[in-house]
Chain A
């Protein structure tokens, strides 16, 4: 099987490809190519002077975003912390009287973070997001531990219209039972009795 495959992959040399002249020609072509490139303008971007706009999905500094109505998105479900391969995310969950969950404290150790983006993928509320801002280097490694106040940013980030509590079947001050998007009113189980 493998022998057959080898045979089919082998391309026979054309008669003019095996001669010494063609070897010299190939050499000359190579030298001509590099000589031509000598006249080209370098494609290097001189980084600190020229800062290119990075693609918006580049993965760098992590932020916590807000709902469209301006409240914290994070519901402290621990999914990001659980999926984090280097365990750099830690938090303490709590619940507000109105039924919304939140993180009492939330901490990311950027000294450990490998910017893999798994936390963003795991987040059910689009709260935790990676931004293209990569210039967050510090001399002291302890200053790389970001608390919740350092992580929170204005706005909704990449997912501007999403509001978790509009969809989650949880009773809060926003919606009652059966009032959420694409949700049918609750069934009175007693009506199903035979």
Chain B
């Protein structure tokens, strides 16, 4: 009986999370288009519904009803698999993000997280690395030069930034003493880690942006060099899945930034979930602002930034943090 009840609660949590994520992803597209337009003194979508609020729905209908084309020279199975890999890995990362403290329901404690893995952080890293397989394989399976170049760039970018991303979070783990995202959030009940680890925060944000393939790190897409990069040959809802993956990834990034540095769901007055959503929203807006401001980095600049700046900086940061912990200042 207990087992069944737990299963039902789990399914409800998954359904709510999935629904919320997909809805938020579609309206994040709307927000991005609208905000980007205003940054470029344009109006943005304003035809479908008031302020263009029905635009995501119109886009979804368009993507779903478009012809699904698989190029005859493509590797059919991998071509079909790749978008799903990107979307699924992005969605799965949210399984370990805590939305709030445990709530009591019918005399039982229900944790506000789908699953509190004790290696949550490693789980997140594993999935974010897996997501790049979708990009690289999708680019390769398309059997198109542009897509292949995009895929290769995606893979190379992943190697350069994965390391910095991982190393930037080592101080956080050292401070919290756990890989579990719930424990990391609990450790920030007093002061958020952004205050203690500003360097770590900057490195994390830059590497995570490179990981999510957004301007200024959108080299795998690079529409003015590579057509559309790795998803050049995709159409219809398969393209839509790549698109969905990208916008879910922005939310993941916002959530992870919130969890690791901004104190997760901690915050005064408002309910915990609202605080987390607010923090995700702020990170998303900042990323849109960055997209509206910075140009794309050149390939060698991207590599140089990753290997020569971010990785040494995060290593030094680890040593300094370790020294502080060892000698008992923190």
B43 touches A46 (CB 8 A): yes
Q: Report if A42 contacts B (CB, 8 A).
A: yes
Chain B interface residue bracket vs A:
10 to 19
Looking across the interface, which residue of chain B has its beta carbon closest to that of A45? B43
Q: Which of B42, B289, B293, B294 contacts A42 (CB 8 A)?
A: B42
C-alpha spacing A104/B294, complex, angstroms: 62
Whether B41 sits at the interface, judged by CB under 8 Å, is yes
Q: Taking the complex as formed, is B145 at the interface, i.e. its CB lies under 8 A from any CB of chain A?
A: no
Task: Identify which of B40, B41, B293 contacts A30 (C-beta below 8 A).
Answer: B293
The answer, among B41, B43, B46, for a CB contact under 8 Å with A37, is B41
**What's the nearest-Cβ distance from chain A to residue B289, in Å?**
7
Asked if B38 lies at the interface with its beta carbon under 8 angstroms from chain A, I say yes
Instruction: Tell me how far the C-beta of B196 lies from the nearest C-beta in chain A, rounded to whole angstroms.
Output: 22
Measured between beta carbons, the chain A residues less than 8 angstroms from B40 are 37
By secondary structure, the A interface counts as helix
CB-CB under 8 A from B292, the residues of chain A are: 34
Q: Report if A1 contacts B (CB, 8 A).
A: no
Question: B273-301, CB under 8 A of A: which get 1 and which 0?
Answer: 00000000000000001001110000000
**Which residues of B11-51 are within 8 A (CB) of A?**
35, 37-43, 46
State which size class the interface on A falls in: 10 to 19
In whole Å, how far is B51's beta carbon from the nearest beta carbon of chain A? 13
The reply to whether A30 and B43 contact each other, CB–CB distance below 8 Å, is no
| Chain B, 209-265, CB within 8 A of any chain A CB | none
Q: What's the minimum C-beta distance from A46 to chain B, rounded to whole angstroms?
A: 7
Partner of B38 from the list A27, A42, A46 (CB cut-off 8 Å) is A42
From A27, A37, A43, A46, give the contact of B39 (CB < 8 A).
A37
Instruction: Please tell me if the beta carbons of B293 and A31 are within 8 angstroms of each other in the complex.
Output: yes
A35 contacts across to B, CB distance below 8 A = 289
Is A11 interfacial (CB 8 A cutoff)?
no
Is A14 in the interface zone, CB < 8 Å from B? no
* Of B41, B42, B46, B294, most A-chain CB atoms within 10 Å: B41
Are A43 and B293 in contact (CB-based, < 8 A)? no
Q: Are B289 and A44 in contact (CB under 8 A)?
A: no
Which A residues are CB-close (under 8 A) to B39? 34, 37-38
| CA gap between A33 and B41 in the complex, in Å | 12
Chain A 20-34 near chain B by CB (<8 Å), digits 1 or 0 = 000000010011011
Docked Cα-Cα span, A37 to B35, in Å, equals 11
Alpha-carbon separation in the docked complex, A124 to B43 (Å): 45
Residue of A nearest to B46 (CB): A46
Which residues of the other chain, B, contact A41 by a CB distance below 8 angstroms? 41
Question: Judging by beta carbons under 8 Å apart, are A40 and B41 in contact?
Answer: yes
Chain A residues with Cβ below 8 Å from B46 are 46
CB-CB contacts below 8 Å: B73-101 with A: none
With beta carbons under 8 angstroms apart, the residue of B35, B42, B293, B294 that contacts A44 is B42
| A34:B289 contact, CB within 8 angstroms | yes
Q: What is the chain B residue whose CB lies nearest that of A31?
A: B293
Q: Which residues of B contact A42 (CB under 8 A)?
A: 37-38, 41-43
Chain A residues with CB under 8 A of B37 = 42
Whole-angstrom CA separation of A35 from B43 in the bound complex: 16
List of B residues within 8 angstroms of A43 by Cβ: 41-42
- Give the residue name and chain of the A residue nearest to B47 (CB): A46
In the complex, what residues of A have CB within 8 A of residue B41's CB? 37, 40-44
Which of A30, A37, A38, A46 is B294 in contact with, Cβ under 8 Å?
A30
Nearest 3 CB-CB pairings of A with B: A44-B43, A34-B293, A42-B43
Show 14 residue pairs from A and B whose CB-CB distance is below 8 angstroms, ordered by the A residue: A27-B294, A31-B289, A34-B293, A37-B38, A37-B40, A38-B38, A41-B41, A42-B37, A42-B38, A42-B42, A43-B41, A44-B41, A44-B42, A46-B43
Q: Residues of B with Cβ closer than 8 Å to A?
A: 35, 37-43, 46, 289, 292-294
| Given pairs A37-B40, A42-B37, A43-B41, 17 additional interface contacts (CB within 8 A) | A27-B294, A30-B293, A31-B289, A31-B293, A33-B293, A34-B39, A34-B289, A34-B293, A37-B39, A38-B35, A38-B38, A38-B39, A42-B38, A42-B42, A43-B42, A44-B41, A44-B42
